Chain A
Amino acid sequence: MDLNYSEEEYAFEAKVKQFLGDKLPKRLSDKVKGNIRLTKADMEEWHSILNAEGWLATHWPAIYGGTGWTPVQMHIFEEACSAANAPRTVPFGLGMLGPVLIKYGTEEQKEHYLPRILDGTDWWCQGYSEPGSGSDLASLKTRAVREGDHYVVNGQKTWTTLGQYADWIFCLVRTDTECKPQEGISFLLIDMNTPGIEVRPIITLDGEHEVNEVFFDNVKVPVANLVGEENKGWTYAKYLLTYERTNIAGVGASLNGLEHLKVIAREQQKDGKPLIEDPYFARRMAEVEIDLDAMKTTNLRVLAAVQGGGAPGAESSMLKIKGTVIRQELNDLTRRALGPYAMPYVHEALDEGYNEPPIGPEYANPVSSDYFNNRKLSIFGGSNEIQRNIISKMILGL
């Protein structure tokens, strides 16, 4: 057993850090650090910087324009990006649709869509959940009926993250109602500019607009936009979800969150002394730090087991649960650390160019809204309850 990176891996890490030092615009890292909202243009700017380096599609094989990195390299990259406060890449094209097309798409589809994901021509969003189909995704009802060389799509998707920016949506649709729910689903690529599509915002409990409802009213979709075989969409959907879950562990984000928490706990006072010296608070912090230490290694163990590419299987459910619980615990502690200053909230202060002095410490404003917003982590991408079902069934055989 050797817990150190190899020499090549250390060299790679140095190269990544060098790149981030040279190419990550300070304007963007300042925004990420200060929890200022990123605009669509900000996200596109970072994508294009990574793409110029050939480092945008970390999960794709090199022949499709990906990095062809090993899982350990991806991990090093993710950790370094988080530590440098780089924006997270938008996952829908890169981390979700890309791998599905690479595995199940036709050559034409790969040639057409993959380069457009890389160069930013197409912004993708995910059409999975429906109002009546959350954890029970296979019960989805959005209907696609074939008419000649088109499908006609009717129905509604929900929780569509950043759908307000999207050019395209990949959708799970029902193409057969006469069989078991899982067997009548197809995977369709739909141009968001097609007549009959309407996007409506959903405002979340923190007052933000991240997610949307997407309505389909007699939307005509060319049959060429079907991925894989008709009625086999469930297989592709599940394949995509394991990718979604790998990304969701968020070790890098947690390490960053822990550092941020320590800065705050050193600065906040309790009885005239730094909060970090308070035994009650120190104990809470140490517990999360220990969990995170273990999580880092669990994550690397799962990654090492799938060296040579691909995505981990049911083990990714473990990463998702533990990863999200740790991130949420860090959000909770950061909120606690602030004491009464966790309460004031100025929504506009999250916008670029807000010039009023902060209320309380400059880091305080977004902390509680982040805590509330990140309750989503244990809900989306397959709730932590569903992940436990997967572990029970797939790993434990119960």
Chain B
Amino acid sequence: MDFNHNEDRRMLENTLSRYVREQYDFETRMEIAGTDLGYSAQKWAEMAELGIIGALFREEDGGFGGHGFDLMVVFEQLGRGIVVEPFLSSAILAGGLIAELGNETQKAMIDDVIAGGKLLAFAHGEPTSRYTLSDVTTTATKSGDGWVLNGHKSVVAGGDNADSFIISARVSGDRMDETGIALFIIDAGTDGVERRQYGTVDGYGAADVFLRDVTVKADALLGEDGGAFAAIEKATARAVLALSAEALGAMEVVKDMTLEYLRTRNQFGVPIGRFQALQHRMADLLMEVEQARSIVINAAGALDGDRLAREKAVSAAKNLIGRVGRLVAEEAIQMHGGIGMTWEFSMPHYAKRIIMLDHMFGDTDHHMERFIALSSAA
């Protein structure tokens, strides 16, 4: 047994950690998040150059990583910097789906994604689907040798700047059926595709995407007509691991800042860390963050295994991360007092990200329910 990352991953971790520390400090991050574009094309290119995007893809797909622990290493560091660039949407979700299902022509796109030249987003969730992956009402109807799509995709991460979307649509079956879902690669400029771009409360970019009689050729289809669910579930599992690792990185920062505050903030003539009531709460944070790290390790280890073990492990991770995340974010603000409520200070922005991660790809309750269902299926 060895809980150390291998040498390649340690190098990857050092590279990204140094980049975030030196080139992506809090002031820089806030400046980037505050621009109309919502991300920095320059930072994105620099991180692509460092191989950070490539680390999220397998060798056979043109990358040099792509395994659970690669995702963990990268996203933990991205979380430590609350980095807003679209790693999740472009590389993990859309890029991952193309790697999983794409034909040779489609896979050629991955090189552009890894180089940072092309931005993709996965448009899957809908206004009434909440977190249920099979709940798809967007339709794709055959027309000649192509397809016509209609529907509304909501809160598409990275959808604000994506050059192309991977869009899920129902080709057959009922609203909740796992079968009958297909994926299409559609250029953002296609007639009938309209997007409403916006920022999220924690400073990231997203969009709602409206499809009105969007006509595409047969070659837009990604994977099998109607058989995309398994790949969607797998891409989502990778996203859940990535987001869990991101939350872990953010929680580590928040925990360290809170500890530092307890050591240096004086009230009643002593550092507030001398009060036992706060010591015990800080000890709880430490324990819970360690537990969070363990559950992320479990999920990273199970990511490339069989479906049931993988899905149980990622649901366990997202549930625990959701619970610990809320505790860490709220306790950090509370123990900081007023200063923990200010825009100027970095910690609250980490806290916002940690809380909002619970709203992506299934919250605490969703993954608890899923964990129970998967456990009884075993």
A133 vs B200: C-alpha distance when bound (angstroms): 34
* Residue A343 lies at the interface, judged by CB distance under 8 Å to chain B: yes
Chain A residue with Cβ nearest B345: A205
Chain B residue with Cβ nearest A376: B341
Nearest CB on A from B315, distance (A): 14
B interface: dominant SS: mixed
Q: Is the CB of A346 within 8 A of B198?
A: yes
* Residue A272 lies at the interface, judged by CB distance under 8 Å to chain B: yes
**For residues 316 through 366 of chain B, which have their beta carbon under 8 Å from a beta carbon of chain A?**
326, 330, 333-334, 337-338, 340-344, 348-349, 351-352, 355-356, 358-360, 363, 365
A359 touching B196 in the complex, CB below 8 Å, given contacts A343-B206, A376-B341 = yes
A203 vs B338: C-alpha distance when bound (angstroms): 11
A379 touching B155 in the complex, CB below 8 Å, given contacts A281-B365, A343-B359 = no
Q: Is the CB of B334 within 8 A of A272?
A: no
Option from B130, B196, B343 in Cβ contact (under 8 Å) with A340:
B130
Q: Is the CB of A343 within 8 A of B342?
A: no
Chain B residue numbers with a CB within 8 Å of A372 are: 201, 348, 351-352, 355
Contact with B along A135-155 (1 / 0, CB 8 A): 110010000000000000000
**For residues 345 through 367 of chain A, which have their beta carbon under 8 Å from a beta carbon of chain B?**
345-346, 359-360
Q: Is the CB of A344 within 8 A of B356?
A: no
> Which one of A171-179, A291-299, A380-388 is at the B interface?
A380-388
**For residues 267 through 311 of chain A, which have their beta carbon under 8 Å from a beta carbon of chain B?**
268-272, 275, 278, 280-281, 284
* Residue B175 lies at the interface, judged by CB distance under 8 Å to chain A: yes
Nearest CB on A from B371, distance (A): 12
A375 touching B365 in the complex, CB below 8 Å, given contacts A270-B132, A340-B154 = no
Q: Is the CB of A341 within 8 A of B334?
A: no
Q: Is the CB of A280 within 8 A of B365?
A: yes
Option from B208, B352, B359 in Cβ contact (under 8 Å) with A339:
B359
Option from B208, B267, B368 in Cβ contact (under 8 Å) with A134:
B267
* Residue B85 lies at the interface, judged by CB distance under 8 Å to chain A: no
Chain B residue numbers with a CB within 8 Å of A339 are: 130-131, 359, 363
* Residue A246 lies at the interface, judged by CB distance under 8 Å to chain B: no
A388 vs B275: C-alpha distance when bound (angstroms): 13
A379 vs B334: C-alpha distance when bound (angstroms): 7
Option from B128, B343, B355, B368 in Cβ contact (under 8 Å) with A204:
B343
Nearest CB on B from A341, distance (A): 6
Q: Is the CB of A203 within 8 A of B267?
A: no
Chain A residue numbers with a CB within 8 Å of B199 are: 344-346
Chain B residue numbers with a CB within 8 Å of A272 are: 128, 135, 175-176
* Residue A256 lies at the interface, judged by CB distance under 8 Å to chain B: no
Q: Is the CB of B341 within 8 A of A375?
A: yes
Nearest CB on A from B360, distance (A): 7
Q: Is the CB of A342 within 8 A of B356?
A: yes
Chain A residue numbers with a CB within 8 Å of B130 are: 268-271, 275, 339-340
* Residue B369 lies at the interface, judged by CB distance under 8 Å to chain A: yes
* Residue B266 lies at the interface, judged by CB distance under 8 Å to chain A: yes
Chain A residue numbers with a CB within 8 Å of B269 are: 139
Q: Is the CB of B201 within 8 A of A271?
A: no
Q: Is the CB of A379 within 8 A of B365?
A: no
Q: Apart from A204-B341, A344-B206, list 6 A-B contacts with CB within 8 A.
A: A205-B342, A205-B348, A269-B130, A343-B202, A345-B199, A375-B341
Measured CB to CB, the residues of A under 8 A from B are 129, 132-136, 139, 158-159, 202-207, 268-272, 275, 278, 280-281, 284, 332, 335-336, 338-346, 359-360, 368-369, 371-372, 375-376, 378-380, 383-385, 388
8 A-B pairs with least C-beta separation: A345-B201, A136-B267, A205-B348, A340-B155, A203-B343, A343-B200, A280-B365, A269-B128
What would 21 A/B residue contacts be, using CB atoms closer than 8 Å? A203-B344, A204-B342, A205-B343, A205-B351, A271-B135, A280-B368, A335-B355, A335-B359, A336-B363, A342-B359, A343-B204, A343-B360, A345-B200, A346-B199, A359-B208, A360-B154, A360-B155, A375-B330, A376-B341, A379-B341, A384-B334
